[in-house]
Structure 1
Amino acid sequence: MNRRSTLGVLGLLLGLGLVWFFLLPDLFPTNPGAQGKATMRSPPPLSVAVAPVRRGTLDRRISFTGDVLPQSVVQVHAQIAGVVEELTVEEGDTVQRGEVLGLVEHRELAAQVRQAEARLALYQARYAQLLAGARPEELSQARDRLRKAEANLKKARRVYERAQELFAKHFLSDQDREEAQREYEAAVAEYNIARDALALLRKGARPEERQAALAQVREAEAELELARTRLGHARITAPIDGMVSKRHIDPGDFATPSSPLLTLMNLDRVKIAGHVSERHLQLLHPGQQAEVRVDAYPAERFTGSLFRIGPTMDPVTRTVPVEIHMENPYHRLKPGMFARVELVVETFPDVLFIPRVALLPAGQGTRVFVYHDGKVESRTIRTGYQTDELVVVLDHLQEGEQVIVKGQERLKDGMQVRIP
C-alpha cells in the first residue's frame, strides 16, 4: 500500500469517529426524559415598549401658514407741489412721528407769511387806537378850534347886528347887509363843526366802527394762519414712528401731492395674514393664543394672538382670512417671511392622556394593553380629544400605569412580556 492510500484510510476512519461521537448521545440517551422536556420548552416572552399614563393639560390646535406683514405701512406725500430742497433720511433709517424728513422749496411761502404778519400788525394798531379813543393832544387841538370858532362867531354876530341897525336907518346898502349875514352864518357853521368834533373825540368811536375794525383784525389773523399752514406744508414730516423702507425721490426732483416721497413701516408689531379652513370657523375667537415659527429661526417659537377674523369666506378655497398680531421688539421678524402658525382654539386641563400609538381597535371601541409585573392586561377604554401624538383617556386607566406602545399587535390578555 502506498503512502497516499494510507492517508485516505486514516481520514475516513477519523470522519466516522466524529459522526459516532456526536450521534451517540441521541441514539442512546442516558436520561430518557431529557428529550421530551426539550421538545416541550415554552417560547421566550415577547419584547415590548411601554409609556406611562400621564395627567396634564392638552391644547387643541389648528395649523395654517401665512405671511409676515408690518402692522402699519404709510406712504409719505408732499402736501404742496415744488422742488425738493432737502431729504434727510435713507432707506433703513428709524424715524419718530413728527420728525422733519425733508423740505420743499418755500421762499415765496415765507414771504407770504411776513406779508400777513405786517397786515395783522396794522389792523391791530388801528383797532387799539379806536379802543383807546382820542389822544390828549387831539383833544387839546379840538378845544382850541372850538374857542376860535366861538370867538369868530361872537364877532360875526356883532357885525351882523350892527349891519342890521345901519340898514334899518338906510346908512348901509342891502348888499353889505347880506355880506354880514353870510359871514355870520359861516361863523355859526364853523362853531357847530368844532363843537361836534370835540364831542366825538370825547365820546370815542361808534360801536359799529369798533366792530368793523375788529373784523379786520380777525381776517388778518386768519390770513396769517393760512400762510403759516402753507409754509408748514413745505416741511415733509413723519406721520408715524417707524422705519424708512423705500425712498422714491431725491433732492432736486419735483414733488407733487399725488406721488409718494417715502414709504414708512412700523415693525414694533407685526401681523401674520393667513387663511383658516371653513370647518374651523366656529372654533375661532379674537384673543386666542398662537405660536409662530419661521424658517429664519427654526428652533424658536414666537407668541401672538388672534386679532381679526375676516367677515367673508373665500368661495373658491372655502377659507376665512385671519390676522395674528404679535410684538416684534427687536425687529427680527421681517415683512415677507413665511410663517407657520399653531392657534390654540381649546384647552383641556387636568386630563389623563397616553400616546396614540398605544390604541388598538376593539369592535366598536378601543382597547390598550396595560403592563404589570411582567404580564399584560387588555382593557377597553373611552377616548376624548386627540392630537397627532396623544389622546385623552376618559376611563379605565389610572395615572402612572404603563401602557404598551410597541409590540401590542401580537399580545393577548395575560401574556408574559419583557421590557428591554
Structure 2
Amino acid sequence: MKNKFAALGAAAGAAGVLALIFSVVHAQAPAGQPTRPAGGPPGAAGGPPAGGPPVTVEVTRIATANLVDDVAAVGSIRANESVMLRPEISGRIVRINFREGQTVRRGTSLVELDASVLDAEIAQTRAELALARSNSQRTDDLHAKNFVSERARDEARSNLQVIEARLALAQARRDRSVIRAPFDGVVGIRQVAVGDYVREGADLVSIEDSRSVKIDFRLPERYLPQVRSGQKLAVTLDALPGKSIDATVDVIDPQVDANGRSFLVRARAGNAEGLLRNGMFARVRLVLDTRNNAILVPEEAIVSAVTPRGNANFVYKVAGDKATRVPVQLGLRRDAKVEVRGALASGDAVVIAGQQKLRGESATVRVLTAEGKPAAPAAGAAPAGGPAAPAPAKS
C-alpha cells in the first residue's frame, strides 16, 4: 500500500512539471501564432513558418544534342598474313629467285636448295619400281596358271607398294628443297645468300600480305556487352598525323585476360595505298552507341543525396516561382554537361546555383538572370510571397 501511494505521488509530480513547462512556452509564443515543437517542417510542428522568403537561385534551359558513346584504346597494326619462310630440310642454297621488296604470287619459287642427292634417290627408286612392277605382273601370271602360291603373289604385290611409297617419299623430299610463296604478298629482306648451308627451321625471308590489315587492341571487361562485330571505329596513327582510317570490328576474343581484366578485339581495314605496315602503333576510337536528342544539363545542376535505398541524383526543375525536385539517372559527360534521364524535356529550366538552400520536394524561389538581376515576372503575375501588383493608372 505504501508503494502504491509513492507511485501515485511521483506521477502527480511529473504531470505538474509538464503543465508548468507548457504554460511557460505558451506565454513566450508571439501573439496570434500557434506553438510548435522545434525541428518540424514548415507548416507543421517545429519547422520554420510557412510562406517564408523565397530562395534566390540561378537557372538555365535544358538543351538536347546527339551524343556518340565511344571508347578510346591503343593497339597495333597487323598484316592480313605474315610469315617467316623456313626450310623443312637441310641443304645448301643454290638459287634465290626474288628481289627484296618484290611482290610475288602464290606458289612462286623463292629459294632453291641443292637437290642433286634427292634427284639421285628418285632415279634409283624409279628403277626399283619398274623392276617391282615387272615381278608383280609375272607373279600374277604364274599364279593364274597355278605355278606359284598365293603367298608369293602377295609378297610381290606388297614389295611393289613399298617401292611406290618410297618413291613418293623421295619426291616429297625433293619438293621441299624448293621454298615457295604460300600466298600473294611482298617479300622482305632476306637473311641468307647463295651458297649458305641452312638447317631446317632457319630464317630465310619474310613475306606479308598487307592489302588489308588487322588492328588488335584491348578494352576493359566492362565494355564486353557493348562491343559486337560490325561496329565502326576510327584509327589514327602517330606515323601518319592528320589521317584517319575507317575500320570495322571483325572478331572479339571470347576469353577475358585474368591478369588485366581486359579482352582482345580485332578490327579490319583496307590498305589500298599501302600506308599501313605491320607493327605500327595505332590509336582507336570505337563507337559503341549513338543517341539522338539526348537531354543535357550542366554538371553543377546535379545534386547527389543519400537515401534509404542508396545514393540518388536529382535536379531542381523551375516552373514559375516553384522549384520541384526531379530524380534523374546520369549518362555520358561531355564538355561540362551531363546526359540525364528523367521527367525533363527540352526547354525546361533547372537550377544551377542556390540549390543547396532548397529543402523538400518543392520550394518557392526567386530566379536571377544571367546578369545577376531578378527576372521580370510575367505581366499581371504576383511577386513571390506578396500580393498581386496593382495595375498601372491610366493617364
Q: What TM-score does the superposition give when structure 1 sets the normalisation length? A: 0.57
Q: Which of the two has greater helix per residue?
A: 1
2:262 counterpart (316, 320, 340): 320
Contact 1:63 1:342 (8 Å CA) reproduced = yes
- Between 238-247 and 101-110, report the one with greater CA deviation: 238-247
RMSD between aligned residues: 4.0
Alignment deviations for residues 270-326 of structure 1 (CA, whole Å, 9 cap, x no partner): 333434346x35546452623322231524242221532654243xxx452523221
Q: Distance in 1 between matches of 2:183 and 2:214?
A: 17
Aligned: 1:234 with 2:177: yes
Richer in strand (by share): 2
**2:98: which partner in 1?**
89
1:360-392 residue CA offsets vs partner (Å, 9 max, x unmatched): 34676336899xxxx9x9897635421434643
Letter in 1 for 2:244: E
Identity, % of aligned positions: 21
Q: CA deviation at 1:65?
A: 1.4
Whichever residue aligns with residue 272 of structure 1, its letter is I
* Aligned-pair CA distance for 1:75: 1.5
Partner of 2:153: 210
Report the alpha carbon displacement of residue 396 of structure 1 after superposing the two structures with TM: 5.1
Cα distance in structure 1, aligned partners of 2:245 and 2:318 = 36
> In 2, distance between residues paired with 1:361 and 1:98?
66
Task: Find the aligned partners of 1:101 and 1:225 in 2 and give their Cα distance.
Answer: 23
CA contact (8 A) 2:62 2:297 kept: no
Residues 1:298 and 2:242 aligned together: yes
What code does the residue aligned with 1:237 have?
R
Task: Determine the C-alpha separation between the residues in 1 that align with 2:115 and 2:131.
Answer: 25
Which residue is 1:137 aligned to?
A: none
1:212 maps to a residue whose letter is E
Residues 1:366 and 2:315 aligned together: yes
- Work out whether residues 271 and 323 of structure 1, in 8 Å CA contact, stay in contact via their aligned partners in 2: no
Structure 1's 112 and 392: CA in aligned 2 closer, same or farther, altered over 3 A? Answer: same
More displaced, 327-336 or 258-267? Answer: 327-336
User: Does the 8 Å contact 2:295/2:345 carry over to 1?
Assistant: no
Where does residue 79 of structure 1 map in the other structure? 88
Counterpart contact for 1:60–1:387, Cα < 8 Å: no
Q: How many residues align?
A: 290
TM-score (norm 2): 0.60
Q: In the alignment, is residue 118 of structure 1 matched against residue 127 of structure 2?
A: yes
Runs of 5+ in structure 1 lacking a partner?
1-48, 134-199
Q: Which residue pairs with 2:64 in the alignment? A: 53
Is 1:262 the counterpart of 2:205? The answer is yes
Q: Indicate the residue corresponding to 1:248 in structure 2.
A: 191
SS at match of 1:224: helix
Instruction: Flag the structure with more relative contact order, 1 or 2, with Cα contacts below 8 A and sequence separation at least 6.
Output: 1
Partners in 2 of 1:359 and 1:96 — Cα distance? Answer: 63
1:308 counterpart residue number? 253
1:336 aligns with 2:279: yes
C-alpha contact 1:293 1:302 (8 A) present in aligned 2? no
Contact 1:367 1:380 in 2 (8 A): yes
- The structure with the larger Rg is 1
| SS in structure 2 of the partner of residue 246 of structure 1 | coil
Q: Deviations over 1:183-238 (max 9, x none)?
A: xxxxxxxxxxxxxxxxx994343211211111111111011111101111111122
Instruction: Decide whether aligned partners of structure 1 residues 384 and 358 sit closer, same or farther in structure 2, where only a CA change above 3 A counts.
Output: closer
Contact residue 70 and residue 265 of structure 1 kept, 8 A: yes
Matches for 1:103-182 after TM superposition, within 5 Å: 103-133=112-142
Is 1:50–1:404's contact at 8 Å kept on the other side of the alignment?
no
CA distance change for structure 1 residues 399 and 356 in 2, over 3 Å: closer, same or farther?
closer
